[in-house]
Amino acid sequence: MALDLATIGWTTSPYKLAYDWRTLATYALGVGAKRDELPFLYEGTEGGMKILPTFGVVPAHGPVVEVLAKTGGNMAMIVHGAQTVRSHGGIPDRGTLETVGVLKSIYDMKKFAQVIIETRSSFEGQLVYETTWSIIFRGEGGFGGERPPSDDSPSAPKDRPADWAFEDRTSPEQALLYRISGDQNPLHADPVFAERVGFAQGPILHGLCTFGYLARAVVKHACAGEPTRLKTLSAQFRKPVWPGDTFQIEGFGLGDGRVALTTRVKERDEAVLGSAHAVISQ
């Protein structure tokens, strides 16, 4: 089914997400948080729980799914192309977030179509998260539409070693755990469905789970463990990741709080993220 270009600019009604420590801990566990990251997992932390800024994707799930359905495309043929999260300050460890989504663009990539969705989440009227989602509809391209703009993301330097490195293995159950936070696409749970849509090896890990592992690495090594310093995180999803894979993440400081990032899967020595970068407050 062809995408409906007339839906560009369409905006959802506000979605409300009431959350508490359980919501936050479930998300942190879903992106691999360990016992030595207890402030992200335990509600008894002095001063309240710490919250990864990539939690901002969680209240956006509802609006994003509604926007995708509005396009008229085949939801069984979508994959995540890229993600950006911008954080405008911390949130308390309980409360209600209100989120609105808008369909910004639909681009023609010949074989594929790229849908760009933006969301804005507020806490008690104050903007706390902005997200940008690039969603790829396989088989929906070739409609003569506008091509996506060129990518101007910073690249990791090739003439010097990384400033820091982070390695962490996902569990075989990682996608089943991450999906509890809101992304229930059967591609990440159902082997029969995964094979039917082209992944014979089985359900793949959510791109946003990989994105959360990236955030943990940046917070630990570039933010001295303080998540509110991570203001922007962005990455493209280049290759599939399977539960049980091991991430090798490296960071390269570029000055002015900018960090270029690389992410590989150790078992295949394969880059799985591209154009990844972060902005850190000083």
Catalytic residues: 183, 188, 204, 207
**CA 201 to CA 23: how far, in whole Å?**
30
Please list, in sequence order, all residues whose beta carbon lies within 8 angstroms of the beta carbon of residue 75, skipping any fewer than 6 positions away. Answer: 68, 69
**CA 87 to CA 46: how far, in whole Å?**
22
Among 23, 53, 48, which Cα is nearest to 219's? 53
32 CB burial (10 A radius; 0-12, 13-18, 19+) = buried
**CA 135 to CA 117: how far, in whole Å?**
8
**CA 65 to CA 132: how far, in whole Å?**
13
203 CB burial (10 A radius; 0-12, 13-18, 19+) = buried
DSSP letter for 249, please.
E
The residue type at 80: H
Can you say how many angstroms the Cα of residue 214 is from the centroid of all Cα atoms in its chain?
A: 9
Q: How far is CA 159 from CA 72, 155, 162, in A?
A: 46, 12, 10
Helices and strands (DSSP H and E) totals, the chain: 5, 10
**CA 53 to CA 27: how far, in whole Å?**
11
Q: What's the chain's Rg over C-alpha atoms?
A: 18
User: Can you read off the two tokens belonging to residue 148?
Assistant: 């996506």
